[in-house]
Structure 1
Amino acid sequence: MTTGAEISPKPTLRVADAPPSNWVDRWAPASWQPYLRLGRLDRPIGTWLLLFPCWWAQTLAQVNSGDHLPNIGYLVLFAIGALAMRACGCAYNDWVDRDIDGRVERTVNRPLPSGQVSPEAALGFVVATALIGLVVLLNFNSFTIWLAIASLFIVAAYPFAKRFTSYPQLVLGLAFNWGALVGWAAIKGSIGLPALALYAGCVFWTVGYDTIYAHQDKEDDALLGLGSTALHFGEDTVSFVGAMYGLAGILWLVAGALAGAHLVYFLAVVLVFLQMSWQVATLDIHNSSNCLWRFKSNRDVGLAVFVGLVADMALSWFAGLG
């Protein structure tokens, strides 16, 4: 907890929620480390959570098209794009929040408030990573390119949302899961109802897991006059997150039904719903470590749904051979 005044960076430059043994701190050259931290390469969970909606939508579209193998080239392109755009978005967010971060215990050691990276250098990093994302994007059809570019308006607005609303997690969800539309469009060249259902489910998913994450900062946010669903729902967070996860699971099932997915996909969604139920049942909003662990476990949710979709394609192929 803070008093809202500036906090002096701690002697260690590692940020609070980075794994103690992350590769940036252990292996990266010292001159690179501030920029790698700025792009959150020491904390890959955000990249995974940005990537999975892209992969889900791509593979769901391929299930709908009757394909038997995922397009590996597109999977790689989405992986590179997610890595670059997550780094870009985080650096932009930190640039906007550079004064706020210096007054929050968890973020005081970030590269900008700690003085490791200048605001000008951070903006240069934003431009460089955005250009990498653009190079990746140019490998897709024109509809997909313009659809992806349209997301930049929401991305640009997100860092300001907590200054004006108690629901910045909703704005994050709208921005962070745009890949659920882009992945489908990359295969189909348009947006279909399955993609819209998948996207809506992913938005609810993000609102849920980011509410859990926001409980780490609720005391600082309250002192600084910032909004979050963690503060808004307080002791009712467990019920709220449960509702968000429930809506996410239902919409993912609807997306699969609309796309013509098979039993293995629906089983995967049921399994991830059980995992999300575990998050809710064991959540302790007064324990930061508990919140961070449950937030990070959403990588398993993403992986399980993706594996279910790939298995759907593979089993359809085997069934066709029979």
Structure 2
Amino acid sequence: MTSSRPPITLTEKLHAYMQLTRFDKPVGIELLLWPTLWGVLLAAMSAAQQQGADIGVMAALPSLKIFIIFALGAILMRAAGCAINDFADRKVDGHVTRTKGRPLADGRLSGREAIAVFLILVLLSASLLLFLPVQVFYWSLGAVFLAFIYPFMKRFTHLPQLFLAAAFGWAIPMAYVAIAGAPDIWCWLLFVAYMCWTVAYDTQYAMADRDDDLKIGVKSTAILFGRFDVVIISLLQTLFLLIMGVVLWHYFAPTSLSIAPVFGLGLVAMMFAKQNNACGSREAASCFHAFLANIWVGRYVFALVAASCIWTSLNG
């Protein structure tokens, strides 16, 4: 297929690389970026609490340097994950309506080029570790491992979404290592909450592709859950809200905010209800739009956490 294609122009090649890394569709970047920044902000709260300082006096906020490093790391690693994902799916994407126009599927890029892009992006992300404590480097190896293996999991297990969630969420314990010195129980609760949310929204994504995936033999939670898909998604979203509520209660109940941030999750519950109503039809377009709506969940929770941290830092 690739030999019959005429040579492509430099502009077309650059556009193909943009598609490979999904910089032309930043939805996935946001779904990784915002939770990473939740972790950065709450890790700073943990560090302040560990020091036994009056949080109202001490700025319980991360430094701008840490904030930027983790934001850039999230963007680069998401792009790297997309490159290795397309390499893993290069022989099946052409059989799926939604993915047949990807650059490896239609021959605009080769498998070697995708691997090269993955390695370059991982190295760029690794260079950011030079500005962080050395312990973060050791934890980052887990992130690279998960980013590399998760695209291949759909060949072996119906739970590839679980590996995706772990890969996306690994930045959370890394943030705690960088800022608070080590992950604590609240870090891992935040990590589990994030995994519940990620498995839920990626199941919505998989529901949009379920018919094609069944034809080509690709596994997913959407296939595993079957007719109980929306029910299980709802349960995962409920777990996210409950665990996230406990985490926010821990950090902010002792402050002047009390439990106000916990009540702030009520809007997220309404967002989830709207998503599940759309997914109830099992129509591909409706499920995909429900998946896209999770961008607003990520943005809102970030705004809620950021506002709570800033208020606590200023007012105690």
C-alpha distance in structure 1 between counterparts of 2:249 and 2:135, whole Å: 25
Q: Identity of aligned pairs, percent?
A: 32
1:282 corresponds to 2:282: no
C-alpha distance in structure 1 between counterparts of 2:151 and 2:30, whole Å: 20
Q: In the TM superposition, what whole-angstrom CA distance separates every residue of 1:86-139 from its partner, at most 9, and x where no partner exists?
A: 111111111121101122111111000101111111111111111111112222
**Among candidates 188, 194, 198, match of residue 202 of structure 1:** 194
C-alpha distance in structure 2 between counterparts of 1:51 and 1:205, whole Å: 14
**Among candidates 170, 173, 178, match of residue 178 of structure 1:** 170
Residue segments in structure 1 that go unaligned for 5+ positions in a row: 1-5, 7-12, 14-27
Query: Are the equivalent residues in 2 in contact too, given 1:61–1:188 (CA < 8 A)?
Result: yes
Counterparts in 2 of 1:68 and 1:278: CA distance versus 1, 3 Å = same
1:273 corresponds to 2:255: no
Query: Are the equivalent residues in 2 in contact too, given 1:54–1:78 (CA < 8 A)?
Result: yes
Tell me the matched-pair count: 295
1:31 corresponds to 2:27: no
The residue number in structure 1 matching 2:81 is 89
**Among candidates 117, 121, 135, match of residue 125 of structure 1:** 117
**Amino acid paired to 1:117:** L
Paired residues for 1:309-320 under 5 Å: 309-320=305-316
TM-score (norm 1): 0.86
Paired residues for 1:36-185 under 5 Å: 36-64=18-46, 65=48, 66=55, 67-185=59-177
| TM superposition shift of 1:196 | 0.1
Query: Are the equivalent residues in 1 in contact too, given 2:122–2:144 (CA < 8 A)?
Result: no
Could you say which structure has the higher helix fraction? 2
Counterparts in 2 of 1:186 and 1:129: CA distance versus 1, 3 Å = same
The residue number in structure 2 matching 1:189 is 181
Residue segments in structure 2 that go unaligned for 5+ positions in a row: 2-7, 49-54
C-alpha distance in structure 1 between counterparts of 2:70 and 2:158, whole Å: 31
C-alpha distance in structure 2 between counterparts of 1:285 and 1:149, whole Å: 41
C-alpha distance in structure 2 between counterparts of 1:287 and 1:31, whole Å: 34
Query: Are the equivalent residues in 1 in contact too, given 2:197–2:236 (CA < 8 A)?
Result: yes
Counterparts in 2 of 1:269 and 1:139: CA distance versus 1, 3 Å = farther
| TM superposition shift of 1:240 | 0.8
Query: Are the equivalent residues in 2 in contact too, given 1:164–1:227 (CA < 8 A)?
Result: yes
Structure 1 vs Structure 2 CA RMSD: 2.0
Q: In the TM superposition, what whole-angstrom CA distance separates every residue of 1:47-91 from its partner, at most 9, and x where no partner exists?
A: 111112210011112233233444322222222111111111111
- 3-state SS in 2 of match to 1:117: coil
